[in-house]
Structures are given as C-alpha cells and as structure tokens.
Structure 1
C-alpha cells in the first residue's frame, strides 16, 4: 500500500493500524480495556529500571516470517537490534492482552508460537475473565506449565531468567465489561 493510499484511507474507529517494514498492514481492534491494561503493564515494568528494555507493539523477528508485535515484551538488558528489530532470542517475557476479537489467538495460537520459539515466560492478561495466565517451561508446541491468577489477589512476582523480577499488580489491572 503506498503512502498516499494510506493517508487517504479511512480506517474503522477503535482500531490500531501497524505498518511493517515488509509492507504488511495490520489492523487490529483496540478497546479502552486493552489500552489501559497495556499501560498498567508498562507501569509495573518501571520497577525493572528506567532504562530496562521493555517494548510495546514493536515488531520482533521470529523465524519463518512469523514476526510479532506483542502488547509488551521484556528484553534482556544486553539485547541489540539486528537490523531494525530485536530478535525473539532476546525476549525474557511476552504479555498479550486479550481483546474480544483476539481471545483464541492469545490463548491458543500465541501460546503455541511463543512456546515453540522458547520464550521463557508468556503472560495472557485477560481483562474480561479478570485473570492472568502465566506460561512457563516452553516446549516445541507450547508450554509445560500454566498457572492462573485472578485479578484482585495482590502482587504477582514473576522471576525473569536474568535474575530480575517483574511484579504484576493484580489489584490495579483494569477490568473489562
């Protein structure tokens, strides 16, 4: 899609549009709950340090053209971009926030994908079910362990492979309608 076509296109209200370097245009719905939840995750990540490599909606390179722009990713401190993007190999934690239209993708497809590529920790944050599922111990087709934590149950420390702790405040996560 040319820049002129993009500038003259009217995208549906409530959608976020991403333009990949490879020419792909990705349009996804984003609700207030989705946006607020990502912001809450970002706030919780500040405890990792002002200069921690934490990214949101930024493309990561995965093999086999399965690139992703997760809602939140915590990277190794020594991660370096390879070209214009970080590699999946530098990811310590990925969090995806469930939206009404993405539930199957976040719970099933992403669990299989992130496990297949060895992402150490995958969080599914669901403002509608008011729960967080922590997937650990990646395998070739998903994860061995999955633990569900309900909203409103305090602070949830998540140990990262580099010794740091990402603490998710389950009392402060926005709830879906």
Structure 2
C-alpha cells in the first residue's frame, strides 16, 4: 500500500485539476464533477447550512479524507467537519472528525459509492454517510458506524423527505436536489 500511496501523491501533483482517490488499493482519477453534479451538492448545502453555522462546523469540497496511514484516500463531493479537525499534512482531514460525508454517485463510481465507501467509512467512524444517486433515483443515509459496517441504512426515493439524526435534527427535502420530476418516488426503508 505504501507504493500505491506514493504513486497517488505523484498523480495528485500531475493532475491537480482532477479528482484522484485511492479506492480498494487502486488509484481512481476522474474529471471535475459536472454542473448537474455540483448543483445537487449546492442545493443540499443550502438546506443544511443553518445547522452547520449553528455548530460552527466547516464545509469542504474535494477534501481528501485520511482513513489511516496505510489505507485508501477518498475525496467526497461534500465534507462537513467538526470545529478544528485533525489533519495529516496540509491536504487531508481525519475521517473520524467529520459530521457528514456526501457522495453524488456517477456512472463510473456506483460500486465504490454503494459498497466500498460505506464499509470503509464505517470502519473509521464517519458518523453519517449520505449517498445521492440520481441515476437510480434514490438517496441513502448510512448511520451508526461499527468496525464491520453501518448498523443503520435509510433509503428513500428522490422526492421523499429524509431525516438526518442527531446532532443535525433536520429533514432534507430530497426533491429539491434535482430539477425534474423524473425518478422521484416516495419509497422508504
């Protein structure tokens, strides 16, 4: 893994305008998110910003999460961190110091976002992982992390309300995350 992380650092320097992650020991380089992708995170941020401001948390986009010295490196679409998080170097935040990690799935990241990342985020104690999948028309909130995975998973169709647990205590109107009525359903766990 040390060799992969060294190569990863070189890739990040060589492609500073791209999103580079280490997922399951492989380096994944992708383009900057599309406008549609960015609108979803922007709209979510508008809905949750009051709670972020109230708690004096910080928000970052394209922030590398430190999952351990010999572990993968993820770059979520949106990361909310507690006050003054621990950092590793000047570009990585300790994953356990987050309040919320958000991914918007794209066709190339579906497996990683739905399977790999929830498992790894739970192992290191990320309290809430929110996955928005416009192609499948769903939003999933993973909570109660353990060393073997998240104990709780709530899935709703885009358009249905989704409650964020403590310390958030808010309901997200997932219908406001997208432009059209396509794919909106009201299924729940």
TM-score bracket, normalised by the shorter chain, equals: 0.7 to 0.9
Query: Is 2:177 aligned against 1:173?
Result: yes
**What secondary structure, in the 3-state scheme, does the structure 2 residue paired with 1:144 have?**
strand
Query: Is 2:35 aligned against 1:32?
Result: yes
Q: Tell me how far 1:60 sits from its aligned partner.
A: 1.8
Q: Tell me how far 1:71 sits from its aligned partner.
A: 0.9
* Structure 1, unpaired ranges of 5+: 8-15
Which consecutive aligned stretches of 4+ in structure 1 deviate over 4 angstroms post-superposition? none
Q: State the superposition RMSD in angstroms.
A: 3.1
Per the alignment, residue 186 of structure 2 pairs with none
* Structure 2, unpaired ranges of 5+: 1-9, 22-26, 183-189
CA distance 1:82–1:29, shift in 2 (3 Å):
closer
Q: What is the count of residue pairs matched by the alignment? A: 163
Distance 1:109 1:172 in 2: 27
Q: Tell me how far 1:52 sits from its aligned partner.
A: 2.8
Higher relative contact order (CA 8 A, sep 6+): 1
Contact 1:30/1:99, CA 8 A, preserved across alignment: no
Per the alignment, residue 47 of structure 2 pairs with 44
Distance 2:77 2:147 in 1: 23
